[in-house]
Structure 1
Amino acid sequence: MAGKSNPTPPLKVANYIIGDKIGSGGYADVYKAYKTADRKECVAIKAVLRSTLSSGSTDNLITEIRLLKQLNHDHIVQLEDFMCDENYIYIVMEYCSGGDLSHFIKLRHRLSESACQRFLQQLASALKYMREENVSHFDLKPQNILLASRRNPKLKIGDFGLAQLMTESEFSSKVKGSPLYMAPEILLKKQYDAKVDLWSVGVILYECLFGKAPYSSSTMEELIHRIKTDKQIQIPHNTSISSKCRDLLVRCLERDPEKRIGFEEFFNHPFVDLEHKPCPENIDKARALLCQAVEHDEKLNYEEALTLYTESLLYLVPTMHAENDANKRTSLRRSVTQYLSRTEILKKLLSQNGLEIQLPSIPYISSDQTESAESPSINAPSIVMLNSFTVEHHQNVEELLSLASTTATMTGAIDIAKSGELYEREASYSIALEKYELALGKLLSLLSNEPHGRRRDLLLDVIKTWMKQAEQIKGILDTRKREVELLAAAGTDTSQSKQPEKNTFSLADKFGSKVKSESSDKKRESRLERQKSRSRNSSASSIISVLTPISGLASSFQSTKLLTEADYERNCSLQ
């Protein structure tokens, strides 16, 4: 008669009420728990059954506890307590309600470049701190990167079970990590250094951007074969990413560890952009730059003002995204939007004078919806109620991709249009329109030669949908452009400003009937002369009135006094 297996001992953790199981690992289960003193306060408890521990896993557990006690960083899961009884070892950690990055990616299939950059900046900030503490993780993967909340998620590195203290000059030979994310030298050379973490970061970034890891395979044998094959990872060329992003990916995913990017270069890379990460020091820098910008703006030193506004926004936008309080984040978003509007007005004024200034790109401003760790609603609107994609549309796109798998030109164009959807969701409308126009140009060319059949019907359907979206975006951008022109004209000469002519060019003109748009160049010499000769105080107040009063920034950005909606509309309708 077969013996009965011993039942699993019950969990008993003093001062905590054990809730649902939320995860399982190699030698432990993780539970959501509540403090008995305050049942609103949640924690995560990792319960390790002592009878299942080998000597190696015991060493890993001891290392994990020791390192978690040592590390204290905003983007690393915090250890709150640990204890043990005759059956279990308990590790009590902060609870991350947003799940893990792997689930976040799967819900969205892939992330926009701007969302990837924000997450990467957080991850790099934690890695920089870990390097200062000589800690290497050795098991970085989306499943071990948690999201602190469901709204406006913040990344937290967790699971330090394979981590160890290791300087950049030291080497290890023990095989550790998850094959899909581990650097090739761990398997091939049996000797490696701390830079294997940078390979893992590259794989994670690749998966965020393209929806799957570069060595994704259906079997372990296939995966090992791909790792052993001495062939550099190719970054997809049918999707549009910035040169900075592509450069970082290529350098992180260099198979030769000697040629792979080093930690110092990684932390200083322009795509990582740790210089502008959210922190109190950078808020002070932004405040100082804004004060200087407004001062120059009031003196009509537009070139200096534009440069300073742009520099301040490089600090302000990440700060806005990092703010956890929804009301404060909304307040910051309004302020940032107003300063962005002011930069557009100044660009217009300077352009009228024949001045074009090369400025760094300001980070994209995403909607709060984009920052949610909840499953994104197919019909959820973006900031200006544009995202009207139906479930049927998404199904049609996926079916078309399947049918077009042998037509690289078509799949590439579809991927470009899908990236346009991502930027539209983030309210980055200029970039979204650029992607849609590029994709539609390619797809319409293909449509003219496509034979009748299911693939042609699907192609026509998605083209119509993307053209509709692009037309709506163009309407938004045209409206914003007219508002900027009105404000610029008001600042130049309020009494002489005119309503700009309506732009009759549409995407239907460009891609449908091919009707050429009619436009005429307007001479601006007389206006520029009036601008140069007018009194310095004639209309400065009407321009500056669109700005958030700088005095409100003296204590904090959150307490900034904002223009009312009516005030802003009045400024935008100046004749």
Structure 2
Amino acid sequence: MARPGWAPPRLDGFVLTERLGSGTYATVYKAYSKKDTREVVAIKCVAKKSLNKASVENLLTEIEILKGIRHPHIVQLKDFQWDSDNIYLIMEFCAGGDLSRFIHARRILPEKVARVFMQQLDFGFAQHMSPWDEKHVLRGSPLYMAPEMVCQRQYDARVDLWSVGVILYEALFGKPPFASRSFLELEEKIRSNRAIELPSRPPLSRDCRDLLNRLLERDPTRRISFQDFFAHPWVDLEHMPSGESLARATALVVQAVQKDQEGDTTAALSLYCKALDFFVPALHYEVDAQRKEAIKVKVGQYVARAEELKAIVTSSNQALLQQGTSARELLREMAREKPRLLAALEVAAAAMAKEEEASGGGEQDALDLYQHCLEELLLLLAAEPAGRRRDLLHTEIQNLMARAEYLKEQIKMRESRWEAEGLDREGLSESVQSSCTLQ
């Protein structure tokens, strides 16, 4: 393998230039084809002398998988060659660098930007791993290794989920959870039984923190499953940018306009908000500048109408809250001998007060309070015997759920508007080289 300062290896048909990066087994170079097209590629050079039997099998598996894959979020393997010293994987070149460089250039990523990368992961390699074949074999950087790889030397595909958690942690906080000043310190952190603690800053959504905690679970049997990861609300694969995003947004807008014309403001507002959830991914997916600008204009129009409807619905909701005051006070009176129920209702009251004063982003604090009290109230409802108090509690829970859903829509609408306005400034149009090319 070429070392720093050495000339890159020679390969028929290509001119290898700058070194893009290196990993445990390989060095990746930028290269140009000698053909008339002068195509730019990335060439992964794997030194044969660095490979043991398991490493050779892993490389052959990688080549076999990549040969048959054509996917917008996976670096394409165009060809491969070999000589007496190296094996060469000729791959698609991505000008944005790898994900690690993208993160380090920005120090930390906003939560919505990190979500875009999480939506683009592909776990196709995991199905080719056998836990018995992996015994005693360690690959990659210890910073990204699941604890069972180091402590037990036997693992399965669930280690990928830990690595995803490490990548997400690094994207959001600027460093991996096991960042250390020495290898001894790193090893101590890996072998520790202490749960991974998430920094309090920057503030993250509840769903994001939940996913991080479940990915960075030391015990692989308790770690989130692949199925639950893909279904997790923070990953939100339903709204992943795709060729269908614009069509789905348009269909929802048609329904919103119809409800708007019928005078059903609540339903119209909800549908406009749902449409915006697909318009932003449509903007991410669109590459034609003229069409992208046309979508942005439409988004601005729909946001403006949604804001008008929001004012109407908010006024109506405030009236409904006032009408329910007497029932709410009766429920509080009936809960005097139940401290847990009374405490949960106090949190609900705080959520309502926070919602009334919320503006310019304060809705998230109110939503957090609503979600906290609802978790407790639903547990208490299940244990509450039939009777007047249970009926009142059930009605109150329905009202609180409606308030929470309304706030969720408002928060999403605001974020969608901001994201649509600042999409180009985030740099998400840059092509980012998959870090799996540096194994």
Deviation at 1:313, TM superposition (A): 1.3
Q: Is the 8 A contact 2:21 2:29 kept in 1?
A: yes
Matched, 1:371 2:423: no
Distance in 2, Cα, partners of 1:37 & 1:81: 15
Q: CA deviation at 1:36?
A: 3.5
Q: Tell me the matched-pair count.
A: 331
Change (3 A) 1:282 1:338: same
Partner of 1:79 in structure 2?
A: 77
User: 2 CA distance for matches of 1:9 and 1:278?
Assistant: 38
Q: 1:228: which partner in 2?
A: 191
Q: Does residue 343 in structure 1 map to residue 306 in structure 2? A: yes
Shift of 1:269: 0.5
Alpha-carbon separation, structure 2, partners of 1:49 and 1:211: 32
Q: 1:220 to 1:304 in 2, by over 3 A?
A: same
Kindly provide the CA deviation profile for residues 53-74 of structure 1, in whole angstroms up to 9, marking residues without a partner as x.
5444433322221121133322
Residues 266 and 313 in structure 2, CA contact (< 8 A), matched pair in contact too? yes
Partner of 2:104: 106
- Kindly report the root-mean-square deviation, in angstroms, between the aligned alpha carbons of the 2 structures: 2.6
Structure 2 partner of 1:32: 30
Q: Which of 277, 297, 301 is matched with 1:314 structurally?
A: 277
Question: 5+ unaligned residues in a row in structure 1: which ranges?
Answer: 1-6, 137-163, 375-575
After TM superposition, the score normalised by the length of structure 1 is: 0.53
- Equivalence for 2:12: 13
Equivalents in 2 of 1:281, 1:304: separation in Å? 23
1:301-320 Cα distance to aligned partner (Å, 9 max, x none):
32221111111111221221
Contact 1:232 1:254 in 2 (8 A): yes
1:237 alignment partner in structure 2: 200
Contact 1:171 1:193 in 2 (8 A): no
With 180-189 and 100-109 compared, the bigger mean Cα shift is at: 100-109
Unaligned runs of 5+ in 2: 1-5, 319-402, 431-439
Give me the TM-score of the superposition, normalised by structure 2.
Answer: 0.69
Q: What is the identity, as a one-letter code, of the residue corresponding to 1:59?
A: E
Matched, 1:277 2:275: no
Equivalent position amino acid for 1:113 in 2: E
What's the CA shift string for 1:258-307, capped at 9, x where partnerless?
11111111110000001111223343322211111122223333222111
Alignment of 1:164-563 (within 5 A): 165-166=128-129, 172-173=134-135, 174-354=137-317, 358=406, 359-360=408-409, 361-362=411-412, 363-364=415-416, 365=419, 366-371=422-427
> Contact conserved, 2:147 with 2:191, CA < 8 A, in 1?
yes
- The 10-residue stretch of structure 1 (248-257 or 333-342) with the greater mean CA deviation from structure 2: 333-342
- Residues 175/36 of structure 1: CA separation in 2 closer, same or farther (3 Å cut): closer
Letter in 2 for 1:341: A
* d(CA) in 1 for partners of 2:85, 2:133: 36
Cα distance change on mapping 1:171 and 1:195 into 2, 3 Å = farther
Distance across 1 between alignment mates of 2:189 and 2:53: 32
Give the distance between the partners of 2:133 and 2:312, measured in 1 at CA: 58
- Contact between 1:82 and 1:89, CA under 8 Å: does it hold in 2? yes
Q: Whole-Å Cα distance in 1 between the matches of residues 272 and 21 of structure 2? A: 46
Q: Which of structure 1's runs of 4+ aligned residues deviate more than 6 A?
A: none
1:310 and 1:230 map into 2 onto residues whose CA distance is 44
Q: Aligned partners of 2:53 and 2:157: how far apart in 1?
A: 24
What is the rounded CA distance, in whole Å, between the counterparts of 1:20 and 1:172 in structure 2? 34
Structure 1, residues 184-226: CA drift from partner, whole Å, max 9, x if none?
0111122222111111111111111111111100111110011
Identify the residue that residue 95 of structure 2 maps to in structure 1: 97
The 1:27/1:207 distance shift into structure 2, 3 A limit, reads closer
Whether the 8 Å contact between 1:171 and 1:194 is mirrored in structure 2 is no
SS in structure 1 of the partner of residue 32 of structure 2: strand
In 1: Cα distance, 2:243 partner to 2:151 partner: 44
Letter in structure 1 aligned against 2:234: F
**Contact preservation (8 Å) 2:245, 2:281:** no
Q: Is the 8 A contact 1:20 1:31 kept in 2?
A: yes
* Distance apart, 1:238 and its partner CA: 4.3
- Give the direction of change, closer, same or farther, for the CA distance of 1:318–1:38 in structure 2 (3 Å limit): farther
The 1:86/1:175 distance shift into structure 2, 3 A limit, reads closer
**Is the aligned partner of 1:117 residue 2:107?**
no
Could you say which structure has the higher helix fraction? 2
Deviation for aligned residue 1:9: 8.7
